[in-house]
Amino acid sequence: MAQDVRMADPKKPTHRRRKHARPAEIRRAALEELAENGIAGSTLAGTAKRAGISRTTVYLYFDTKQDTFEAVARDSVGQTIEEATALLDELDGTIEELFTVVIDQVYTKVVQGDAHVILRALVAEGQSNSEIVAFYHREIPSKGETLIRRLIDWGIARGALAPEAAVIDPRVIVAPALFAGIWRLVFESHAPLDLEAFKRDHVALALEGLLAR
């Protein structure tokens, strides 16, 4: 009797990998949907179409459009905060080195990366989407302010930063990066920003006001 030999379906591993990667594919599609249609115009149906899946499949991972927005925000910006926080946990280097690395990550991910899509949507439609604004503020700016405060406290404790730095509003430290992001959204085609030079000036100006004399 011939032995029944069943060959493994070569498509199955690919299917499993695709299923495992599907949330990331949906988040990428949601970002594209947001970039093209804004907050109000984005739909789960549009996200599903861009991801090449059914809307029912999207619901397996995300309940609402806001859920996809929150996931995109965490991907685009939240990871930057987490990475910078992990860097501070090691606290290895001078205050100048640490500050430069943290600010560099902010520019790389927030100003230059996909986060500009979220910034544009918030500036244009934030007033009519209070829940999304509240989420973004809680998850991104608030945690970023905590990160900068930790960096300042660390520098003061080691005598690298002036004691007066303790009362500085952390938002003042990151404000130039936000300005750069908005400038690129509005004026880039008319007056391109030399981002590397701007970033260097940002770091130098901030440290000038913070370093102990």
Does residue 26 sit within a domain? yes
Q: Using H for helix, E for strand and C for coil, what is the string for the chain?
A: CCCCCCCCCCHHHHHHHHHHHHHHHHHHHHHHHHHHHHHHHCCHHHHHHHHCCCHHHHHCCCCCHHHHHHHHHHHHHHHHHHHHHHHHHHCCCCHHHHHHHHHHHHHHHHHCCCHHHHHHHHHHHHHHCHHHHHHHHHHCHHHHHHHHHHHHHHHHHCCCECHHHHHCCHHHHHHHHHHHHHHHHHCCCCCCCCHHHHHHHHHHHHHHHHECC
| 56 and 92 fall within a common domain | no
**Residues 59, 69: one domain?**
no
Q: Is residue 4 part of a domain?
A: no
Nearest to 28 by CA among 52, 11, 63, 12: 52
Q: Say whether both 83 and 173 belong to one domain.
A: yes
Domain that residue 96 falls in:
64-210
Q: Give the pLDDT score at 22.
A: 87
Q: Which CATH number is 95's domain given?
A: 1.10.357.10
**Same domain, residue pair 175 and 89:** yes
What is the per-residue pLDDT for 74? 84
Q: What is the pLDDT of residue 31?
A: 93
Q: Which of 63, 82, 103 is the last residue of a domain?
A: 63
Same domain, residue pair 53 and 81: no
Mark whether 200 and 108 lie in a shared domain.
yes
Flag whether 21 is in a domain: yes
Number of domains in the chain: 2
pLDDT value of position 141: 85
Residue 3's pLDDT is what?
47
Provide the residue-wise pLDDT of the chain in tens; the chain has 213 residues. Answer: 444 444 444 444 434 445 555 888 999 999 999 999 999 999 999 999 999 999 999 999 999 999 999 999 888 777 777 777 777 777 677 889 888 988 888 888 778 878 889 889 999 999 999 999 999 898 888 888 888 998 899 899 989 999 999 999 999 999 999 999 999 999 999 999 999 999 999 999 999 989 887
> Is the domain of 27 the same as that of 118?
no
**Which pLDDT score is estimated for 165?**
94
- Both 119 and 54 in a single domain? no
59 with 92, same domain? Answer: no
Q: Indicate if 49 and 87 belong to the same structural domain.
A: no
Provide the residue type at 3 as one letter: Q
pLDDT at 1: 47
The answer on 91 and 118 residing in a single domain is yes
Tell me whether residue 2 is in a domain: no
Residue 58 belongs to domain with CATH number: 1.10.10.60
Same domain as 200, residue 179: yes
